[in-house]
Structures are given as C-alpha cells and as structure tokens.
Amino acid sequence: MTTDFSSQEFFADVTEPIRYEGPDSDNPLAFRWYDADRMVGERTMADHLRFAVAYWHSFASDGSDQFGVGTWDRPWLSGDGDPMDAARRKMTAAFEFFEKLGAPYFCFHDLDIAPEGTTFAETCSNLDAMADEAEAHMERTGVKLLWGTANLFSMPRFAAGAATNPDPELFARAAAQVKHCMDVTHRLGGENYVLWGGREGYDTILNTDMARELDQLARFLHMVVDHKHSIGFDGTILIEPKPHEPTKHQYDHDSQTIIGFLRKYDLADEVKLNIEVNHATLAGHDFVHEIAVAVDEGMLGSVDANRGDPRLGWDTDQFPNSVDEMALAMHEILRGGGLGTGGLNFDAKLRRQSVDRTDLFHAHIGGMDVMARALLAAHAMLADGALTGAKARRYAAWDGGLGREIMAGAKSLSDLHDLTMREQLPEAPVSGGQEALENLVNRYVERVR
C-alpha cells in the first residue's frame, strides 16, 4: 500500500510562483535580475544559465553537522514508517519547490531519491520505483534532469574509496551502482552524468599504492565511457574536482590535475569537468582560474554554483553572493561558448540557523539573481572586448615578427643568444594595468540594467 502524497503542499507560505519584478522591486520573493525569457546576446537568460537545484542539500538534509542534530523544518523528512513512502513525500516536496521557484533543472545522487535496500537488488528496485515517480513529476511540471550521480562515499563499504579501493569486490560494487544510476539518468533524460571523487584519494602513504589506485580509477572511467556508448546516452560524462575532503589527498585535486590524468589515460575526448566554486577555493585557486583552465582545454562541462567562507577552511557550500566574482567566471564561460549540456547547479546549503522552509526560496532567489546579474555584466564586457581586447593588445607582439618565429620553432637558444648579443632588444617592462582593469570591470558590474 502506498500513500498518495501528490496533493500534499509543503511550501504553502509561497502561494505564487516566483516572478521577475525588476531591480526596483522590494518583494523578497521575486527575482530582481533573473528574467528567464530576456535575450542576452543570442540566447535567453534561461538558456545561458540553466539553473539546477541540488536534491541532497535542499531536500535530503536536515541541517545537522558534526556537532549537532538537524535544525531545519523539513516535514517530508520526519515521519515514520516505510522508507519508500518517505522518499515519495520528499520528492513531492522537491517538485513543489522546483515548480514554485521556476528552476528548469534538478540534480540528484541515487541515494538522495531512493533508500538503500538490504540487498543490492532491493536498492536497484527502490531506485527504479523512484525513477517512475520522478518521471511522472517531470512530465507534470516540465522540470528536467541536469545530471545524476551515484553516492559512492556515504556507506561504510566505500571508506577506502570506490574505484580506488584495495578490494576488487568493492570496485565491482561501485561499478554495479554506477551502471544502474547511469541507466536511470539516461531514462530520465539527464543531460550529463557526474562523478565526484568522493573518497577517491588517500589518507596515508603508509597503506596506499597510489600508482595502482590511479590505474584503477582510469579503468573505472573507461568502463563508464563504454557504458555510456553502449546505452546510447548522449549526455556528457563529468568529473568534479575537489581537494582535501574527505580524504587528505584527493586524486581529483583541481582542474589541471584532472586534465593531466584524463590525457595520460586517453580519456580527454570523453570526459569534461564539473567545477565547483568552493572546491576551487579549497584548492587555493580563484574560481575563475579553474573555469579558465577548463575553457582553454575545451573541457568545461558544468558548474556547481556556491561559495566558501574565506575564513573557514572547509567546504561550507554557501549560496553564491558575489556578483564581482561571478561576473569574471561568467565572462570565461561565455568566452568558451557557454555551458553546453551543463548548467549552474546550486550545490549549496542553508546555514544551520536558517531553519524555515521559506529560507530555501530566499537562498535560491538570491543565487539566481547574482548569477543573472553576473551574466549581464560578463556579456557586456565580452561584447565590448573590454578584457579580451586588453589581453590581445598585451600579447600582440607574439602575433608577428620575433614572437611568431619563436613559437614556430624557428629559433634556438643559440639564435636568441646571438640576436641579443647583436642588437639592443627593448627591456623596459610595460604596465600590466591591473588596477585600471579592475576599475573597468567594476564599471561593467555597476552599470548592468
């Protein structure tokens, strides 16, 4: 016997869908910048930004942390009885939220939407049943799946990693789980499939054969790619870099590390990156650096939009709140041609004291407005060539004469030694103009309308 939750309302305080009211609106439950149908260049805002809500933070969590129990008012999580009933209730709440917010996409881990069974077979049938539910909700609301992923880090079995586990049986368990989750993602029309390293890394070299573990990880990814082709999934396979958490040395440390790994193992044509703001900052990078690395390599896949706290050294996963920071990142994204099959997934959670259900709306509205405003500033900067033009001028000497000859391989060290001996080459440094460029960016951010 299943109970019908589809008529239950969890966000009754929000009576109307969130609408665009413009920058002068004081309505906290309205968009001031995100205007889905507004054209920005050749695409609508919605097409540029492709927002997704993360099921785990917003619907599967209760505000608990290492020091204390849950604090959030989440009636769909409390409740006794059948875990599948609870999963259905949670999904009803989630889709009510997606619809009222006007989020075009969502993202999930298998275990966010369906409970583990006592056997693998039961876990799979739970997931299949919840995929049926999701399919019905998606059809009813028009909300789409940006990506699915398998949780290969919460359960004790994966304490030593999934693909990088010392036990092949656990590699097999992880492979089985990923296969099933990819199938469900495909079935739901998911546009990408994400692998976050979870516990793919190590805590101490005392017990770790790193070379072997990296070979295993590559083998696993090849299997994922093969499976993608065998089922005709035309979404993108994405890896999400993150350093330090949960293991001390995560193999997927940052964009550059992953790109080197993918090239070494002949995976670079098949896998792209899902870049998260707070993971970039944990790796000691600006977010825009991580984006630029991926764009330059043609490997930007998608973005987990959030932010860290500069005073805290962990993945606080707060909602984006800085137009300045995001404008530069959006500029790189646009320079690379946009997000493709990817999107902006709010892999972000409320603070523990934000206990109200309505806080979920405030958080997402704020994040969407910040990204929309950043998009407008970035688009104007790129259209005017404000930064790209300045860069082109800075490197112009490489486009001809000596610069071109060097890069064409026409000069040896000795040639340049002789040249420098013979001629007085200019040596005076040219201004990098950083402050002027900072002012320029500020003007674009101030002027968006």
Residues at the site binding Ni ion, with contacts judged by CB under 5 A: 276, 304, 315, 347
Q: Which is nearer to ligand XLS, 20 or 56 (CB)?
A: 56
Give the CB-nearest residue to ligand XLS.
196
* 3-state SS, residue 240: strand
320 — phi, psi (to 5°)? -60, 140
Binding mask 154-193 for ligand XLS (x = CB under 6 A): ----------------------------------------
Q: Give buried/exposed letters for 378-400 (b at 16+ CB in 10 A, else e).
A: bbbbbeeebbeeeeeeeeeeeee
Can you give 93-125 as a three-state secondary structure string? HHHHHHHHHCCCEEEEEHHHHCCCCCCHHHHHH
Beta strands of 353-394 (E only): which ranges? none
Measured CA to CA in angstroms, residue 140 lies from 2, 91, 133, 313, 393 at distances of 20, 13, 11, 42, 52
**Beta carbon of residue 49, minimum distance to Ni ion (angstroms, whole number):** 17
| Candidate list 126, 149, 192, 318; residue touching ligand XLS; CB under 6 A | 149
Q: How far apart are CA 199 and CA 61, in angstroms?
A: 20
Q: Which is nearer to ligand XLS, 149 or 247 (CB)?
A: 149
Q: Which is nearer to Ni ion, 66 or 434 (CB)?
A: 66
| Candidate list 96, 133, 290, 315; residue touching ligand XLS; CB under 6 A | 315
| Candidate list 110, 183, 213, 240; residue touching ligand XLS; CB under 6 A | 240
Q: How far apart are CA 252 and CA 259, in angstroms?
A: 9
Q: How far apart are CA 115 and CA 125, in angstroms?
A: 10
Residue 290, binding choice from ligand XLS, Ni ion, none, Cβ under 5 to 8 Å by partner class: none
Do 148 and 106 touch, CB atoms closer than 8 A? no
Q: How many residues bind ligand XLS (CB under 6 A)?
A: 10
**Beta carbon of residue 103, minimum distance to ligand XLS (angstroms, whole number):** 16
**Beta carbon of residue 158, minimum distance to ligand XLS (angstroms, whole number):** 12
Helix (H) or strand (E) holding 8: none
| Candidate list 10, 76, 196, 444; residue touching ligand XLS; CB under 6 A | 196
Q: Which is nearer to ligand XLS, 262 or 305 (CB)?
A: 305
**Beta carbon of residue 434, minimum distance to ligand XLS (angstroms, whole number):** 32
Q: Could you identify the residue written with the tokens 């002012």? A: 439
Residue 149, binding choice from Ni ion, ligand XLS, none, Cβ under 5 to 8 Å by partner class: ligand XLS
Q: How far apart are CA 219 and CA 221, in angstroms?
A: 5
| Candidate list 186, 242, 307, 373; residue touching ligand XLS; CB under 6 A | 242
Per CB under 6 A, residues contacting ligand XLS are: 109, 149, 194, 196, 240, 242, 276, 304, 315, 347
